[in-house]
Structure 1
């Protein structure tokens, strides 16, 4: 199995895959960068002049419930209206959600917009994109600071043994004996592998309730099953580790 995720959903891990039988590290967005076919690119370009290709003002009511924060616009790119995006999960990993999505949802200081992504590609350690309704550098510069969200439905499809970080957060974690070890609060990339950060109810020395914390490497030697339907992860891990 391997896992992936994004945006507020977490920072990307290594780009390799882990199997239940080994200790290979898992990555947050462990997928080859999406490549748009020539036909798809032409179809997107053909829509550039349509109403669907323009930027729209959105409200909290029109904001999709399933959007995930995947990056932020940090600068203009070139002179023709392209923007530069710092992807939270790294270009080619978290960045592939930006590359594949047809529409980006933008938020800054309560201002909400949505815009079609006409073209997007990796550039060095970032993602650059041409957005509908953004025709020149001045308009692109005005978008600096907007956080970029993508609908979870538009994330690239995964293999059966791969997971996005965002789908792991909130899952209950139990060990092989059935003992509940807590709930996944976040994911961490330590450079070598991804790690489950698990919180559970505990008390301090004075008896005051606090949140205890466990760190379990998300590798096959410890992670035995991930049941997304039941929102449960089974691990080979003892409570006193």
Structure 2
């Protein structure tokens, strides 16, 4: 089974490197399919993301692609929200079945939102560009407050599902800062994702939701996977990749949401 996890780490990192889609939206459902419990899959993937994205922060900072002011406002909302979500899970931890249902439902919803972000990305970006002037006229304090609120939403979603720091976070940033260069937008979101996934992951570790052997084997496969995937960026047309990935995420999302929602009712 350890070899299967290494292959999983390689495959997910390869796709992430090639497409830029957040690893959580691929890794967590894959771990569930491989028999890992929802809580352990989410917790392990959060620390996996924190470790793998740290190298991205170094690279983006070297190229001055990070807006630390925006990162700070996002983290001001997301890190406390992640901590509060973990504390809430702690109080619910005795009811393992209920916690796993909540996580599966959150995971399914996050997958559907990510799929929507992939499908409607161009339309949303065009909308943001049309209303760029309106955002630019906002007082800085209101823009900071909006950024902080986005951080709160991301903090809750990411802590419960390990998904959202990539596709959803980047799209939200573009809607708030439509004139921000793409490389700085991506670098800023990666810089924000590290403290968020680290706090959420350590919180899950405190709840016993981390499989340390699984984490190590995933990391072994991820290093060559992300490198090789990056070399193939742009080789497969975006109009083919995005619909295919979105369809896969919708199928998995619906598969998770329907039984979890029915069980909660």
TM value normalised by structure 2: 0.26
Larger RCO of the pair (alpha carbons < 8 Å, separation 6+): 2
- From the CA coordinates, give the structure whose radius of gyration is larger: 1
More strand by share: 1
